């Protein structure tokens, strides 16, 4: 098909004719094949996109030797954002950026509605297996998950700091929260209680027993991408439920890294990977989860306006939901307050977690007698806060 026109310009032959191409003219053949021509060379659209992607990949932080530790978490330049026993994804490619320097870290292929359908079906199938595992044995699996997280605590904390923006101590601290709740869940797995009631029938007793609910959908926010999933999943798992997780679109690498750790534990115990499924995506995936009757309980963490919408969608199907939403916290300071204690508390409450907690203090209500002193001391305290790379 390739050829040159009589004028010597690069061209393409179609149906026995040579079509001249000047400069970088784009032509479409049969409405499906796009060909680009530049300086006498032909590039298919897929090849052009490949070259663009290659240039993008070379600028990713994960390819910088300084951040080579990211690969120790199983991450690569392009990652699949869907897992239900196997990895995949056919949705849009999302780039994760470091909020500190605005540089791209790596990319994640998000899930499409078709991917979601595969994931929910696999999770439902996995639940049939998981629900039959005795609770103490489920607790043992969660214990192993906690141990696996301990081994990766430092490096996971670094990833969270890099992708979310909180300081390293808080990043590691959040991973520790997941570990702590896993330990707590292990104990609970041997403590499920029920009631015993007398029966009207001679020689009979009535026993009340708790049974697994089914699939727990978990939608987490960017500010606590590790701990919130840990709180929800650890307790859900020991109760015999399976989890379908949609992490925040801005922290997809954390979601992928955590899921890879859990995948390894499940695989080592010959259990279905879809017990802990993942579908990264945007509002479209969240909407599917909220409206899906196969999601027996939906746990949503995020803003109050979005949480309200989610609750309405779940209520329309008479479903169950848990909401952890935003706050508008205040500190009320009287004229006899300990100002030293106040300044320390206020700075941490306002600036901790890069100011992105749902419990972050937004308002200071000061008595007029201490107003000026508090404001001046807060200014001095804020001036001491180091702004920059949270890993340093």
6 torsion bin: left (phi>0), alpha (psi -120 to 50), beta (else): alpha
Q: Tell me which residues are annotated as active site.
A: 324
Whether residue 141 is contained in a domain is answered as yes
| 64-113 pLDDT per residue, tens | 999 999 999 999 999 999 999 999 999 999 999 999 999 999 999 999 99
When pLDDT is cut at 50, 70 and 90, the band that residue 327 belongs to is confident
Q: Which of 277, 305, 324 finishes a domain?
A: 324
Chain centre distance of CA 391 = 20
Alpha carbons 156 and 149: distance in angstroms, whole number: 8
pLDDT at 98: 95
Same-domain check for residues 352 and 203:
no
In angstroms, rounded to a whole number, what is the distance separating the alpha carbons of residues 109 and 278? 12
pLDDT in tens, 160-206: 999 999 999 999 999 999 999 999 999 999 998 889 999 999 999 99
Spatial CB neighbours of 71, under 8 Å, sequence gap ≥ 6: 62
The verdict on 192 and 142 lying in the same domain is yes
pLDDT-wise least confident of 245-254, 260-269, 349-358 = 349-358
Residue at a domain's end among 324, 340, 370: 324
Structural domain contains residue 224:
yes
What pTM did the predictor assign? 0.82
**CB under 8 Å, gap of 24 or more: what pairs does 165-173 form?**
165/98, 165/99, 165/100, 165/354, 165/356, 165/390, 166/223, 166/353, 166/354, 166/356, 166/390, 167/354, 167/390, 168/390, 168/391, 170/352, 170/353, 171/390
Q: Are 334 and 289 members of one domain?
A: no
Cα separation, 131 vs 108, in Å, equals: 31
Which carries the bigger pLDDT value, residue 49 or residue 320?
A: 320
Residues 216 and 308: their CA atoms lie apart, in Å, by 19
Res 56: pLDDT: 52
On the question of pLDDT at 15 being above 80, the answer is no
Domain that holds residue 358: 329-383
The reply to whether 72 falls in a domain is no
Domain count, the chain: 3
Query: Is 354 in the same domain as 314?
Result: no
Q: Classify residue 216: in a domain, yes or no.
A: yes
Same domain for 264 and 152: yes
Instruction: Classify residue 92: in a domain, yes or no.
Output: yes
What tokens does 268 get? 């080592």
Give the pLDDT mean for 329-336.
92
Judge whether 169 and 80 are in contact, CB under 8 Å.
no
Average per-residue pLDDT for the chain: 87
pLDDT in tens, 341-356: 999 999 999 888 888 8
Same domain, 123 and 12: no
Q: Are residues 126 and 105 in the same domain?
A: yes
The sheet with strand 82-83 has its strands ordered as 87-88, 82-83, 276-279, 242-246, 215-219, 297-301, 320-324
174, 312: one domain: yes
- 370 shares its domain with 317: no
3-state helix, strand, coil in the chain (%, to 5): 45, 20, 35
Q: Same domain, yes or no, for 319 and 193? A: yes
């Amino acid at each position: 098909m390739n050829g040159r026109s009589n004028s010597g310009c690069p061209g393409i032959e179609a149906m026995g004719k040579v079509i001249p191409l000047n400069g970088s003219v784009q032509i479409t053949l049969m409405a499906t094949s796009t060909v680009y021509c530049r300086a006498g060379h032909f590039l298919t659209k897929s090849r052009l996109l490949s070259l663009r992607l290659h240039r993008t990949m070379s600028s990713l932080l994960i390819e910088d030797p300084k951040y080579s530790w990211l690969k120790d978490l199983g991450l690569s330049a392009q990652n699949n954002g869907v897992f239900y026993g196997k990895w995949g994804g056919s949705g849009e490619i999302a780039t994760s950026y470091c909020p500190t320097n605005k540089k791209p870290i790596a990319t994640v292929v998000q899930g499409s509605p078709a991917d979601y359908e595969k994931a929910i079906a696999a999770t439902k199938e996995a639940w049939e297996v998981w629900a039959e595992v005795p609770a103490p044995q489920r607790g043992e699996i969660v214990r192993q998950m906690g141990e696996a997280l301990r081994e990766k605590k430092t490096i996971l904390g670094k990833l969270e700091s890099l992708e979310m923006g909180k300081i390293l101590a808080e990043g590691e601290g959040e991973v520790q929260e997941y570990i702590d709740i896993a330990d707590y869940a292990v104990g609970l797995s041997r403590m499920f209680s029920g009631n015993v009631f007398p029966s009207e029938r001679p020689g009979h007793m009535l026993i009340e027993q708790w049974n697994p609910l089914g699939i727990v959908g978990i939608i987490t926010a960017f500010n606590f991408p590790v701990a919130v999933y840990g709180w929800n999943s650890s307790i859900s798992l020991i109760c015999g439920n399976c989890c379908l997780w949609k992490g925040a679109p801005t922290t997809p690498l954390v979601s992928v890294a955590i899921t890879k750790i859990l995948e390894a534990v499940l695989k080592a115990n010959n259990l279905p990977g879809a017990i802990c499924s993942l579908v990264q995506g945007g509002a479209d995936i969240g909407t599917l989860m909220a409206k899906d009757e196969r999601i027996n309980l939906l746990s949503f963490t995020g803003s109050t306006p979005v949480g309200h919408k989610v609750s309405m969608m779940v209520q329309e199907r008479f479903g169950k939901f848990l909401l952890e939403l935003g706050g508008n916290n205040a500190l009320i300071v009287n004229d006899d307050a300990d100002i030293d204690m106040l300044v320390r508390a206020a700075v941490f409450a306002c600036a901790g977690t890069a100011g992105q907690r749902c419990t972050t203090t937004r308002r200071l209500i000061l008595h007029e007698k201490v107003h000026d002193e508090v404001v001046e001391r807060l200014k001095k305290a804020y001036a001491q806060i180091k702004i920059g790379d949270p890993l340093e």
